[in-house]
Structure 1
Amino acid sequence: MIFKTREEAGRLLAERLEAYREAPDTVVVALPRGGVAVAEPIAEALHLPLDIFFVKKIPSPYNEEAGIGAVSETGLMQVNSEAVKALGVSEEYLRRRAKEKLSQMAEKRALYGRKVPDFSGKRVILVDDGIATGSSMFLAVQALKQAGAAEVIVAVPVAPSEILPLLEQTADRVVVLHASDNLIAVGRFYEDFHQLDDEEVIATLRRHPEAGE
């Protein structure tokens, strides 16, 4: 399955999430930046609030593109213990990089003009434009539950088949339009997979006031 755009993928996901239309105490939450473009048509179709939640990977000291862990903006951190041991990564390095990522996420949230939502008792429909390794999504689910979310539903256009059983154990429900046995890159499943910039995210969020406003 190939999606034309993130927006098309969001509209298709909304059809699978119809049961949550106008559901009380329910919010669509995107992982920025790509997830925002998928989440907006879901929020619009289901008449639900739209918000964001940040998770960032902690990179290897030898390769900034290779993640050895992740940290949520609420401070929950997970590391790949096998990778950390194999690379000889120190606790000091992990703490320092996690602190850097927390600072970056706080700066982005300030730029986007959104306070950290109160997820207590909420049903969260957690959206991204796709899952590659799953580390960020797993951490996001756990962080949201730790923050008080009553239910977390993961909704993504594409994900690797092999991680779905574990993801289904972590989240309360998982909705995936296409499960791939050979997912090398999420972008391969889109005709248009341009990098969203901050201006696009800000414009989207301005169209959707914070819940309770």
Structure 2
Amino acid sequence: MIFRDRFEAAELLSEKLKDKIDEDSVVIALPRGGVPIASVIAKKFNIPMDIYFVKKIPSPYNPEAAIGAVSEDGIKFVDERAKIMLNVADQYIDEMVEKKKNEMKEKRDIYKKEKIDIKGKTAIIVDDGIATGASMLVAAKSLKEMGAKKVIIAAPVAPPEVVAKLKEVADDVIFVQTPPDFMAVGQFYQDFHQLDDEEVIELLKDAS
């Protein structure tokens, strides 16, 4: 199945989520691609919307390749196998974690979004698709540590092999499709343009 755009994907995902929403639910987007998804869900079910930042920790040899991820609250995941194979120093990882935390703080300031207290809430974390699952793993662990009573991971598309990994950290995982021929999230969208900050700010305003 190819989605027309993120909004159509969000409508289909909402159908899968309708029995999971309770009075304590908050939908939380991984920016930027998750923001259109969350905005549709927030309006459809009349629940609060937030964003949660997770950044990849890049390899020192290839900025496009990730050796882990870190959340805006400093909770990190490092692929130990990649770290050993590439001989990456702990100091590099610590410096990268601080750098990424600062970048995420700056973004939250730009988006002017106060964090919602999710203690005792059902946190539904959404993105426009999941590839490796590293960002979602870190986000789910972070929200659990922040006191969410339940964490649900939801996305329109993900490869089947990451689903089991995500089930280890979430109370539930919901997808529209988990195709075996998955190569990249963008292959399942007609319109998969990179959102800019203005679009994100507009969607956050609209959902609130």
TM bracket (short chain): over 0.9
Q: 1:115 offset after TM fit, Å? A: 1.9
Encode CA deviations 1:102-157: one digit per residue, 9 max, x unaligned: 00000000000012221111101110000000111111101110111110111100
Q: Distance in 2 between matches of 1:71 and 1:159?
A: 21
Q: 1:6 offset after TM fit, Å? A: 0.3
Q: Distance in 1 between matches of 2:50 and 2:11?
A: 17
Given the alignment of the two structures, is residue 178 of structure 1 paired with residue 154 of structure 2, yes or no?
no
Normalised TM-score (structure 2): 0.97
Q: Distance in 1 between matches of 2:118 and 2:105?
A: 18
Residue ranges of structure 1 left out of the alignment (5+ in a row): none
Q: Match for residue 57 of structure 1?
A: 56
One-letter amino acid of the structure 1 residue matched with residue 8 of structure 2: E
Q: Distance in 1 between matches of 2:207 and 2:158?
A: 27
**What RMSD over aligned residues (CA atoms) do the two structures have, in Å?**
1.0
Between 57-66 and 164-173, the greater mean CA deviation after superposition: 164-173
Normalised TM-score (structure 1): 0.95
Q: Distance in 2 between matches of 1:162 and 1:97?
A: 28
Q: Distance in 2 between matches of 1:110 and 1:161?
A: 36
Q: Match for residue 167 of structure 1?
A: 166
Q: Match for residue 9 of structure 1?
A: 9
Give the total of aligned pairs. Answer: 208
**Aligned residue runs from structure 1 range 127-146, under 5 A:** 127-146=126-145
Q: Distance in 1 between matches of 2:72 and 2:191?
A: 29
Q: Distance in 1 between matches of 2:42 and 2:207?
A: 9
Do the aligned partners of 1:3 and 1:189 also contact (CA within 8 Å) in 2?
A: yes
Do the aligned partners of 1:20 and 1:46 also contact (CA within 8 Å) in 2?
A: no
Q: Distance in 2 between matches of 1:39 and 1:145?
A: 19
Q: Distance in 2 between matches of 1:19 and 1:47?
A: 14
Q: Match for residue 33 of structure 1?
A: 32
Q: 1:19 offset after TM fit, Å? A: 2.0
Q: Distance in 1 between matches of 2:39 and 2:23?
A: 18
Residue ranges of structure 2 left out of the alignment (5+ in a row): none
Q: Distance in 2 between matches of 1:43 and 1:20?
A: 13
Runs of 4+ in 1 over 6 A off after TM superposition: none
Q: 1:38 offset after TM fit, Å? A: 1.1
